[in-house]
Amino acid sequence: MDFNPCSYAFVVEDGMYNFSSLDLVNLQNKKEFPVVLDWSIRNKTCKEARKNKTAYACKDNSVCRDSDNPPGYRCYCFSGYKGNPYLSNGCKEIDECRDSSLNNCTSSKNCLNTVGNYTCFCPKGSYGDGRKDGTGCTAKNKQSLWTKAIIGASSAVSLLFVIIAFVSWGLQRRKINELKKKNFRDNGGPVLKQLLSKIERTAEKAKIFTEDELKKATNNFNASQIVGKGGFGIVYKGTLDKKLVAIKKSRFMDHDQIEQFVNEVFVLCQIKHPSVVKLIGCCLETSVPLLVYEFIGNKTLHYHIHNEVGGSSMPWKTRLRIAVETADALAHMHSDAPIHIIHRDVKSENILLDDEFQAKVSDFGVSRLVPLDQTQLSTLVQGTLGYIDPEYLLTSLLNEKSDVYSFGVVLLELLTGQKALSSDRPDKDKSLAAFFLDSMKEDRLFEILHERVRNEGNSEQLKGVAELAKRCLRIKGLKRPTMKEVKSELEELMMGKYVHVEVATDIEETEPLLGPPTKSCNTSVSLGPDSIKFQAAMQLESGR
């Protein structure tokens, strides 16, 4: 070109030449530059080239590698060989031991040539790997017979201790396994397994877990996994089969009631009700059985009623729905379960709420099964102060109406937002049941209702729920409604059907259950729920 006065053209390796305008005039001092030739054999990959053995360029002791630029392949001698890989027998094995520059041994005498490689070693009387980049070779100290004897004896003693420790560990492990088997038998494991085998395959059976499984699920029952504590024991949160579970560890177990416990587990695992916490299984290898339930993470009804945050509280519609769901669960246990179940500890703390605020009745630790041919059981009084049925307290005769009374107290909590027992109220009204009944007698219902309940609820609806709660709190169980009736009336009230039910409020509320007190008694005990002496009796006789 007219504008291009260049008279040189050359190929040079990238980066090896820096342009200078002087080079356009004089390049005499730079006559040689390095050049890299990038090449490959044919336009095929190694895999394709191997198919034609005659044309395949790579010969003995060589390896083929694909080339990207230009496309094709190249041949290379194996590691430990050198020469021309394109000639037959062109790649010759290298004897690395002949040339010290080719090996890393401390001495050529300590080098052993191998096919395609070499090995370093140490001469007799020394130890190490014989390599310059390793431990090299160190001469061994000549040991006396006495030293060797001491080393040998020490090794023997060490070995003996290892054997003793291993045997001790084995015996301890065996002892632990035997204890687990004994606990399993004592806790009714064989009987429960037999009962569970009778459940139809289509039904979801309760699982009997091992102690190791539950330890793993709770990080060895770590304190950080505790989600609940009480007189009954401790509840841990755990993970089993990638699902959250609640594991209840009781403080004690009456082994005279093992058969009853086994029956309860058998029945509870079959209860399929949306408002009853599902029993997943149990562990019988521990001294006290562990129960595994589905995990409900939105705390208890008691928490949401009595621990209001920032002035907010539960809406009345939600409270009424929770009451209906709880009543439905108790009615199911009383009437529709395979064997009738009396919960015996109905309270707001034993009603869990899920993320949608759906009620889940829980904690069957003191529940009892009622055979179909019986209407009541004679048992040791157990329950929680403020919720215990006074008739059950005095007679020790447990029946389904005992749960009705306790549920009535829960209704009062939902209506008033107050606790079942409170020292903030006057002595005669420490019991919420007594406080409520007094207020009803004095026509002060709307004064004691929770502010949000009073503002959001229909007056007729609120009166209906209050009257129903009053009937649940009748002293004599026979005069209380059944849980099915309670559930039905609550559903009607929730749908806006207000049926007024007359409730007697005079003599029955304080009449003695067992007749008037005899003259030999040192104190007269009023059996009404507003009696302070009645509360003292509950403190003495309560199972909690």
The radius of gyration of the chain from alpha carbons, rounded to an integer in Å, stands at 44
| Strand (E) or helix (H) holding 361 | strand 359-361
| 345 is known as an active-site residue | yes
Q: Which long-range contacts (CB under 8 A, 24 or more apart) does 186-194 make?
A: 186/255, 186/258, 187/253, 187/258, 187/261, 187/284, 187/289, 188/258, 188/259, 188/261, 188/262, 188/284, 189/284, 191/259, 191/262, 192/262, 192/265, 192/266, 192/282, 192/284
CB 293 within 8 A of CB 362: yes
CA atoms within 13 A on the CB side of 65: 11
CB 470 within 8 A of CB 440: yes
Q: What is the DSSP string of 281-350?
A: EEE-SSSS-EEEEE---S-BHHHHHH--STT----HHHHHHHHHHHHHHHHIIIIISSSEEE-S---GGG
Around Cβ 342, how many Cβ atoms within 10 Å? 25
Single out the catalytic residue among 345, 389, 403, 530: 345
CB 306 within 8 A of CB 299: no
SS (H, E, C) 71-123: CEEEEEECCCEEECCCCCCCEEECCCCCCHHHCCECCHHHEEEECCEEEECCC
**Kind of pairing between the strands at 81-83 and 91-93:** antiparallel
Instruction: Please state, in angstroms and as integers, the Cα–Cα distance from residue 367 to each residue in 27, 134, 219, 260, 370, following that order.
Output: 106, 73, 30, 10, 10
**249 is known to lie in a ligand binding site:** yes
Distance CA 38, CA 113 (A): 34
Residue 353 φ then ψ, to 5° = -125, 135
The CA dihedral of 176, 182, 187, 190, to the nearest 10 degrees, is 120
Q: Which residue's entry shows tokens 């050198």?
A: 82
Residue whose C-alpha is closest to residue 534's, from 411, 388, 410, 413: 388
Largest Cα–Cα distance of the chain, in whole Å? Answer: 141
Residues marked as catalytic: 345
Residues annotated in a binding site for ATP: 249
Binding residues: 249
